[in-house]
Amino acid sequence: MMTAQKRATPPNRRRIAITLLGASAAGIALVVVIVLAVAAWAVFFATTSTGAAGDPVQIEVTSGESTAEIARTLAKAGVVGNANSFRVRARLSGSDGKLKVGVYDLTKAMANREALDALLAGPRVKYVSVTIPEGYVLAQIGERLEKQAGVPRADFLRLAKGGAEEFVDEYAFLTDAYEGSLEGYLFPKTYRIRAGSSARDVIAMMLTQFDTEIRAVNTSSVAAEGLSLHELVVLASMVERESKLEDERPMVSSVIHNRLAKNMLLEIDATIEYVLPGNRFRLTYRDLRIDSPYNTYRRRGLPPGPISNPGLASLQAAGSPADTNYLYYVLTGKDGSHTFTESKTDFLKAKQKSKEVFGR
């Protein structure tokens, strides 16, 4: 028998196989290069901003921020199309670490070079940040604005205490403002105030913010009770002054709602403190006899106007009180916590506990 011999692959077939293998490798390499190029373009050049070009944008560069952090702020605000491409531009131009702190009035869809030039030059307009805490009254706001932003206190109080008519055409919620006062409607938050702003400018800014925030508040429940938006703000201002702990605000609100439903005197200390000078930890019997429409120990219903400028949490608590049967509450914790009760007997026990805790 003849032994079977393995046939050798013809040379031309080997050459074809090698050529095809090389072509395949080259094709794969080309695909990889294209994918990497697209990925690099997406990272460094793809536009991530939204909004119409030229729309005004305000951003703040704070002390200690890196170029990368500033680039992300710019891209998020839509000032530049891509944070990484802005960083590359800053690095290639030697601008790292040279961008100036401040508040800038820029526009959407600026060229990287244009935005970089603006941040190298520094803000054209000076701004100051002023924080108005929740629960501040008009006098406190006026004092802070004068001290920190140079807004004349007298000008501010003149408008804030009786100038509602000057703003009501633009802000319809001021229709029921008590004696023209803006108390309750100057929304507390941190504001960037342009240097040289007038009292009117700042008040308009705060009223605009209130108009924005009140939209997040459920007003249907109080409307069902026959309460107006003004009365909701009055109620919220009481919750703000009476509650230190945020999770207690809906419960304080429920007590006020429950007492209103039963036509009980509200007996809220904060309403009397609003018209008395100085600070008091406890009211005296003499204080409780004061003749004032804000004396809820003598007059039924809500006081005629807000007693502070409430924040969003208190406005929401006023509109959405907790579902309770509580009619009383007493400060019993040094952390600002209260004991809530349904009966007068338990209320008196809580008052005794309060005296034991605070010693008076």
Spatial distance between the Cα atoms of 236 and 242, rounded to a whole number of angstroms: 10
Mean pLDDT across the stretch 203-224? Answer: 94
**173-201 residue pLDDT tens:** 999 999 999 999 999 999 999 999 999 99
Q: What is the pLDDT of residue 28?
A: 63
Average pLDDT, the chain: 88
The last residue of a domain, from among 125, 147, 168:
125
Residues 145 and 168 in one domain: yes
For Cα atoms 138, 286, 248, give the angle at the middle one, nearest 5 degrees. 55
Virtual torsion, Cα 148, 149, 152, 157, nearest 10 deg: -80
**Given the structure tokens 């034991």, which residue do they identify?**
356
121-155: string of b/e by CB count within 10 Å (b at 16+)? eebeeebbebebebbbbbeebbebbbeebebebeb
Element (H, E) at 134: none
In a domain, 96, yes or no: yes
Residues 341 and 264 in one domain: yes
pTM: 0.76
Spatial distance between the Cα atoms of 34 and 257, rounded to a whole number of angstroms: 67
Evaluate if residue 315 carries a pLDDT over 50.
Answer: yes
More confident residue, 38 or 153: 153
Residues 354 and 276 in one domain: yes
Q: Which of 267, 303, 308 is nearest to 288 (CA)?
A: 267
Spatial distance between the Cα atoms of 312 and 35, rounded to a whole number of angstroms: 49
Residues 116 and 153 in one domain: no
In a domain, 35, yes or no: no
Please give the tally of structural domains in the chain.
3
In a domain, 169, yes or no: yes
In a domain, 13, yes or no: no
The last residue of a domain, from among 86, 103, 125:
125
Q: What is the largest CA-CA distance in the chain?
A: 132
Residues 331 and 271 in one domain: yes
How would you class 340 by CB atoms within 10 Å of its CB: exposed for 0-12, middle for 13-18, buried for 19 or more?
buried
Taking residue 5's Cβ as centre, other Cβ atoms within 10 Å add up to 6
- SS3 category, 20: helix
Evaluate if residue 43 carries a pLDDT over 80.
Answer: no
Evaluate if residue 227 carries a pLDDT over 70.
Answer: yes
In a domain, 23, yes or no: no
Cα 76 from chain centre = 18
Whether 294 and 272 have beta carbons less than 8 Å apart is answered as yes
The last residue of a domain, from among 197, 214, 231:
214
Q: What is the domain-level CATH number for residue 119?
A: 3.30.1490.480
Residues 185 and 252 in one domain: no
Spatial distance between the Cα atoms of 188 and 136, rounded to a whole number of angstroms: 8
Spatial distance between the Cα atoms of 337 and 114, rounded to a whole number of angstroms: 54
Spatial distance between the Cα atoms of 62 and 73, rounded to a whole number of angstroms: 11
Residues 261 and 308 in one domain: yes
Residues 132 and 187 in one domain: yes
Whether 340 and 354 have beta carbons less than 8 Å apart is answered as no
In a domain, 230, yes or no: no
Q: Please tell me what DSSP assigns to residue 328.
A: E
Long-range CB contacts (within 8 A, 24+) of 168-175 = 170/204, 170/207, 171/207, 171/208, 171/210, 171/211, 173/210, 173/211, 173/214, 173/229, 173/230, 174/207, 175/230
Q: Band of the pLDDT at 36, cuts 50, 70, 90?
A: low
Residues 111 and 142 in one domain: no
Residues 210 and 173 in one domain: yes
Cα–Cα separations (whole angstroms), residue 182 to 176, 210, 279: 10, 11, 22
Q: What is the domain-level CATH number for residue 180?
A: 3.30.1490
Backbone angles phi, psi at 197, to 5 degrees: -65, 145
Q: Which residues pair with 131 in a beta bridge?
A: 190
Whether 71 and 91 have beta carbons less than 8 Å apart is answered as no
Q: What is the pLDDT of residue 52?
A: 77
Residues 210 and 289 in one domain: no
Spatial distance between the Cα atoms of 273 and 279, rounded to a whole number of angstroms: 7
Spatial distance between the Cα atoms of 229 and 168, rounded to a whole number of angstroms: 14
More confident residue, 82 or 29: 82
In a domain, 231, yes or no: no
Residues 157 and 120 in one domain: no
What residue numbers bound the domain in which 247 lies?
243-358
**Range ranked top by mean pLDDT from 45-49, 133-137, 286-290:** 133-137
In a domain, 50, yes or no: no
Evaluate if residue 66 carries a pLDDT over 90.
Answer: yes
